[in-house]
Amino acid sequence: MIRSVGLLIAAYVLIVIETSLQTETGLATPYGSFVWMLLPWLATQPSRSGSILAAGVYGLMIDAVSNHHPGLMIAATILVTCILQRIITPKFLETGPRVFVVSSGCAGLMAMLVATFSMLAGISFTSPFELLAGIATSSAFAALLTMFGVSVGRLFQRAILPAQSPAH
Amino acid sequence: MTESQNTGTFRVLAACLLGAAMFAVLPDFATSPIRDIVRLGILPGQRLVGSIVASAESKWRNAIDQQLADQQQRLDELRTEVANSQFRERRALLAAESASQQLAAVERHGASPFAVEIAPPMIRPRAVRAAVLGREILSDVKSRRILDQGNTDGVASDLWVLNGDLPIVQAGSNLSVADGLPVFAGRCVVGRIVEAGRWTSSLQYITDPGFRARAVLAQVGVDGPNAAGVQFSFGVEGLIEGRTDLKQNGFCELAQIPATEQVDVGMPVYSPPRDAVDAPMLFGHVAAAELSPGALHWVITVEPAVNVNSVRRVEIVVPELSTDFNSSVPNRTFAPASAETQLAPRGVTSRAPTKPDSRLSGGILPNHRRGSDS
């Protein structure tokens, strides 16, 4: 429960940061790619139905801040969370490089689904490659940030909490 | 995972996807309230992040500005230091050149067989600061209210100088002020003393008719990026004089400048170097210059550097004989006949007015220069 609330707060913060960066620097894409990085963590939650529901809320938040076809991001986040639930386990998120790989894979999956849904919904693009390039740039940036965040978090955890030897 | 859990997960998944599909299918007026609520929820966070970013940017800019200001200040200090170093270097070069010339002269003519002692300057200019009397005081004096009081104490009216409409300065022969002495305001020439009384003197401004003095046009050249590198080059000597038609506009005229000279509006007009005083003093700047076809000389109108109507305090440069001149030369081989014989021709304390320079007809040259010039 605490983890779910923490992830929700993190999603809110990431959405806010992304929309601010979007207006300030143009680095982030209006697809909520920063929040995509939370989907692997959401997928490893014990309660699968709760994760799917939370993914729907994330999608709704992304959908609200991005002026795309309504429901597109909701469906994409739900489906990706569902897919990740079948693929990854909490062990995939233990180290920074693993988190980077999983986050990148999640971002790729989301990008494919967003592009597919956009084409199915008839949203006109200037170029699909431009869309994918934008998403890839933003996702890579977010994945790197996530990797560094996880690495620093693990270091702090090791420094603060004493190493516990396995019980004999 | 049990089958019931899978079923529950599947139901939630199906419900969420159905919600997404409905969100996509429903018209905007049905979905926009939900999206607006989410946007309103995100808005405070966006404002917070925006204010944090703005504050950080402001602090960053301030830090950068401060750093730039510090660097600029350091740069200015270095420039000043470089300018001072260049100035010292120039002085050292001049001193070296002078020493080299002296050495060359010694090599050419041979060294003096006598022991050489450097005598201190016999004449030292001294500035007497005096106030220009206002019109009210002058009217009191002219109405003899002050003079009548002075009569009871043995003050005669001829001890005051009330020469027509000329302004009066509060310094006279009691302060060694004599006729023809130049009058300055800072480094600017204001005029000259035309008649020195006991306590007051009549002042003739440079714009007054009858004022005449030698002057040169100066060409300002900048040597280097700073003010310390400003150099002056002086041109041909002319004659600056006050004229009645120019006085009402506060101007005077610079004459006798040959047509071959380059004259530009704004050029400064100085007294010739080492003339009235050692340093060239500023008369004013060229306000207009005309050269008629076939004319041999320019007709130059000069705007005085000092507004003579607003001058309240002036300095009168009085040449003063060094009183310890005799005592400062310990092994003198001759002695002047008497101190009075030296004082009388220079007349710095003499009441009797000296004759003005014949060439300048009342120029600003001090008395001790006039004798040598003529």
Q: Which of B336, B366, B340, B339 is nearest to B354 (CA)?
A: B366
Average pLDDT of the residues of chain B: 76
What is the ipTM for the molecules in this complex?
Answer: 0.72
> Does B5 sit within 8 Å of A78, measured CB to CB?
no
Best mutation target among A16, A35, A58, A118 (most B Cβ atoms within 10 Å) is: A16
Nearest to B12 among A19, A24, A49 (CB): A49
User: Tell me, what's the pLDDT at B110?
Assistant: 78
Instruction: DSSP for B221-240, please give it.
Output: EE-SSSGGGEEEEEEEEEEE
* Residues of chain A found within 8 Å of residue B18, distances taken between Cβ atoms: none
The distance of B44 to chain A (nearest Cα, Å) reads 9
User: Do A16 and B26 lie within an 8 Å CB cutoff?
Assistant: no
Please report, for residues B243, B253, B361, the alpha-carbon distance to residue B298 in angstroms, rounded to integers and kept in the order given. 16, 10, 21
Q: What is the pLDDT of residue A49?
A: 84
What's the confidence (pLDDT) of residue B348? 36
Residue B68's pLDDT is 95
A78 close contact with B: CB closer than 8 A? yes
Taking only the tens place, the pLDDT of each residue in A35-46 is 888 888 888 888
Identify from A20, A34, A66, A123 which residue to disrupt to test chain B contact, counting B C-beta atoms within 10 A and taking the largest count.
A20
pLDDT value of residue B341? 37
pLDDT at B350: 36
Mean pLDDT across A51-62: 87
Residue A56 sits at the chain B interface (C-beta within 8 Å):
yes
In A, minimum Cα distance to B29 occurs at: A70
Quote the pLDDT of residue B229.
55
Sequence-distant (6+) residues with CB within 8 A of A106 are A36, A37, A39, A40, A80, A84
The reply to whether B48 touches chain A by the CB within 8 Å rule is yes
pLDDT tier for residue A26 given thresholds of 50, 70 and 90: low
Predicted local distance difference test score (pLDDT) of residue B162: 58
Residue B303 has what pLDDT?
92
- End-to-end CA distance of chain A: give it in Å, rounded: 31
* SS3 at position B148: helix
A135 falls in which pLDDT band (50, 70, 90)? confident
pLDDT tens per residue, range B305-338? 888 888 888 999 888 777 665 554 444 434 343 4
* Mean pLDDT across B230-254: 84
- Contact list in A for residue B20 (CB cut-off 8 A) is 56, 59, 71-72, 74-75, 78
The two structure tokens encoding residue A15: 């959405």
B34 CB within 8 Å of a chain A CB: yes
pLDDT tens track for B49-108: 888 888 999 999 999 999 999 999 999 999 999 999 988 898 899 889 888 988 888 888
Query: B39, A65 in Cβ contact below 8 A?
Result: yes
The chain A residue lying nearest B33, using CA atoms, is: A64
Whether residue A123 lies within 8 A of chain B, CB to CB, comes out as: no
DSSP states along A81-141: HHHHHHH--GGGGSSHHHHHHHHHHHHHHHHHHHHHHHHHTT---S-HHHHHHHHHHHHHH
Confidence at B167, pLDDT banded by 50, 70, 90: confident
Q: What percent of chain A has pLDDT over 90?
A: 0
* Residue, of B144 and A67, whose pLDDT is higher: A67
Q: Is 50 exceeded by the pLDDT of residue B343?
A: no
Query: pLDDT value at position B365?
Result: 42
pLDDT score, position B122: 75
Mean pLDDT on A94-99: 82
pTM: 0.43
